[in-house]
Structure 1
Amino acid sequence: MTKISVILPVYNSQKFIKQAIESVLGQTFTDFELIIVNDGSTDSTLEIISDFKDKRIRLISQQNQGPGAARNNALKVAEGDYVMFLDSDDWYSKDALETAYHEAVRLNTDMTFFQMINYNDGEVYENDWFDLKTFDESFEDRAFGPDETPGSIFDLSVGVCQKIYNRKFLNSIDAQFPEGIFFEDMPFFYYVYLKSRRISIIKRHLYYRRKHDESITHIVDAKFFDTVEAGQILMRIFIENGWYEQYKFDLLAYKVNGPRFALRDLPDDLKPHMFDLIKEDYEQIRHSQYFDDFTNQLGPVKRKFFLDVLKSKDYYEFANSSN
């Protein structure tokens, strides 16, 4: 049995894919399979992948379906005891797999976090989000459950690549990524985190996260429309699993803030459509049993945003009323 399945979805990644693959093949830990999902690339990505002749590489080619579908398809065929994810423009430290695996096995965890470090044009720098600063030293060197972090789960990094997962656990809870949208990490993370019973952290930088002009979260553009649907999926997950009442104060704030900040930061030509998506979502909420929670649980800034969207017929009226 393979110990780790590393899942690497790729789409038009010719600039960086070689380094990503080499960072896996050069690991100090060797008992792994690398499942590369070519998600309909149209550049030379596939040719670069094909140059590698390592028998641990398993290549899946599919029409372009997005990262959620690519990861789901890889999970269906993964054989490792544990699963790790790598994005095609990032890379692992040399002992990432070894360190993550031994920690997960030692503490018998469902999910183990490790630190990520940012890389931007030769500059390497840390931030609190990826350094797991939400977890103080009392969480180190032991397993814990989500019940120990009730007030801080929305301060955690949702990035799927920052963890190692027990594959049998993922299968047992039918963990899947939403397909056809960006920001698919977010609903996946919260579902898996709150289903976990044994979680641990490693305060070491095992993953290099490259920031560049084409990276998904670097530029605020049309993909941020998907923050609305991702928030809707997240809301359903909390409701369907009986977590809503416990977490609703922070959940509703989190759900509102993603699209709110996207609307603020999007280019002007995209703002009207983003507003329409948010308004459609809020109209559905208006006619649901959760409307009172939004008006009563949200803080003043988010409540005003919520109500201003509802009372405005379009983005231009909203923008004028907000000034």
Structure 2
Amino acid sequence: MISVIVAAYNVADYIGPCLASLLVPEAENCEIIVVDDGSTDATPQVIAGYHDPRLRVIRRANGGPGSARNTGLEAARYDYILFVDGDDWVQPELIPTCLAYIQQHPNADLFVFDYVDVMDYGTRDRICEANFWEAKSAPWNKLFRRTLIGDERFDEDIWYEDLAIVRPWVARAKQLIRIDAILYNYRFTRPGSTMNSLDVERLLDLPLAISRCVARIEADPYLLQAERLGLDWKSRLYTVEAFIQGVINRGQQITDRKVRMEYVKQFIEYLAEPECVDTQIVRQHYGRIVSTASRFHLAGAHKAGDLLLHGLGEIKRAIRVSAGLS
């Protein structure tokens, strides 16, 4: 039996398709727990339009996605847990496929499946693998045995709460099984979503989330076995999940140079172990110029780093405009 926890906040335009995709006739032996996290739009009214014995609705004051998922975990009655965001939707075969894999692999404590990024301009398949690095850090492309989660809960005081806890859960899984199917549709570019927010204060929670993730892994000797995560696991986490995501990817979305440079400065200051960032990994992903810019930023030379990462492109665009080339 599977408990599906749907966290919903101000998703009136999306919660209907989400619930419709879950409440299909073939989705048996499950409960759908919708946690309305204090929505102020028409989300409660849309949810009220669905009547199904599998559906349970919990309404609570707004506390954020981590808190909403925790409320769902406390209410869940079954041995396996799926997480769904209220603005996404699933494939109709999600529940039947998960139940079939549970029967085939009764000792597995975590299953991971593929998903689709849904963007304004198209879609992109995301293939996940049954290992620490390629399972991703999201909670919604996984089926958890409840005992793997235990009494642990999502952090409620930060954004990026999934990064802080999901990676340690994946690391702890003794038997991780890949479900070879695309079962989830993730709205990658929805306006107002946490992942698409450019709220600098929220973005600065990312270093804290990675620090908590690392601390949870380091607290468990079983997780530190070299064959499980690799000797460079901490460096890879700090580089890929924190520095590349926060400084390079998010930084380029901040168009105001002064705001961007202050954000990058603070972001690096908030990293508990900035020395773990490996610019060679950055070079593998983005090339020599971005790697060099990263070294400047890590050394505190933010003007030089910003010039390499953003300024040269801005200068080239200005020249093209003045020459009438664009």
The interval holding the TM-score normalised by the smaller chain is 0.7 to 0.9
Query: Aligned equivalents of 1:276 and 1:122: distance in 2?
Result: 33
Specify which of 284, 300, 305 is matched with residue 311 of structure 1: 300
Q: CA deviation at 1:38?
A: 1.0
Secondary structure of the structure 1 residue equivalent to 2:195: coil
**What SS is found at the alignment partner of 1:115?**
strand
Amino acid in the other structure paired with 2:29 = D
Residue correspondence of structure 1 range 181-260 to structure 2 within 5 A: 181-214=158-191, 215-218=193-196, 220-222=198-200, 223-242=202-221, 243=223, 246=231, 247-254=233-240, 255-260=242-247
Count the aligned residue pairs: 291
Unpaired segments ≥5 residues, structure 2: 284-289, 312-326
Alignment partner of 1:131 is 2:119 = no
Q: Kindly report the root-mean-square deviation, in angstroms, between the aligned alpha carbons of the 2 structures.
A: 3.0
Partner of 1:146: none
1:57 pairs with 2:55: yes
Q: For the residues of structure 2 that align with 1:4 and 1:115, how far apart are their CA atoms? A: 19
- Is contact 1:7–1:84 with CA below 8 Å preserved after alignment? yes
Structure 1 equivalent of residue 322 of structure 2: none
| 1:30 counterpart = 2:28 | yes
Q: Is the 8 A contact 2:21 2:90 kept in 1?
A: yes
Partner Cα separation in structure 2 for residue 119 and residue 319 of structure 1: 31
Alignment of 1:1-323 (within 5 A): 3-108=1-106, 109-120=108-119, 123=122, 125-127=123-125, 130-132=126-128, 135=129, 149=131, 153-171=132-150, 174-214=151-191, 215-218=193-196, 220-222=198-200, 223-242=202-221, 243=223, 246=231, 247-254=233-240, 255-261=242-248, 262-268=250-256, 270-282=259-271, 285=273, 291=275, 305=294, 308-312=297-301, 319=306
Residues 85-115 of structure 1, C-alpha deviations (whole Å, 9 max, x = no match): 1111111111210101220232121111112
Q: How far does residue 198 in structure 1 lie from its aligned partner after superposition?
A: 0.9
Deviation of 1:228 (Å):
1.9
What letter matches 1:26 in structure 2?
V
TM-score (norm. length: structure 2):
0.77
Kindly state the Cα deviation for residue 41 of structure 1 after the two structures are TM-superposed. 0.7
Query: How far does the alpha carbon of each residue in 1:126-185 deviate from its partner, in whole angstroms, 9 at most, with x for none?
Result: 33xx222xx4xxx7xxxxxxxxx5xxx3344222111111112321xx332222333222
How high is the sequence identity, in percent, across the aligned residues? 22
Compare 203-212 and 84-93 and name the one that shifted more. Answer: 203-212
Q: 1:294 to 1:121 in 2, by over 3 A?
A: closer
**Greater relative contact order (Cα < 8 A, sep 6+):** 1
- Aligned partners of 1:213 and 1:219 also within 8 Å: no
Q: Which string of whole-angstrom CA distances, capped at 9 and with x for unpartnered residues, describes residues 64-94 of structure 1? A: 1111111111111211121111111111111
1:179 and 1:193 map into 2 onto residues whose CA distance is: 20
Q: Normalising by the residue count of structure 1, what TM-score does the alignment of the two structures yield?
A: 0.78
Deviates more, 1:235-244 or 1:44-53: 235-244
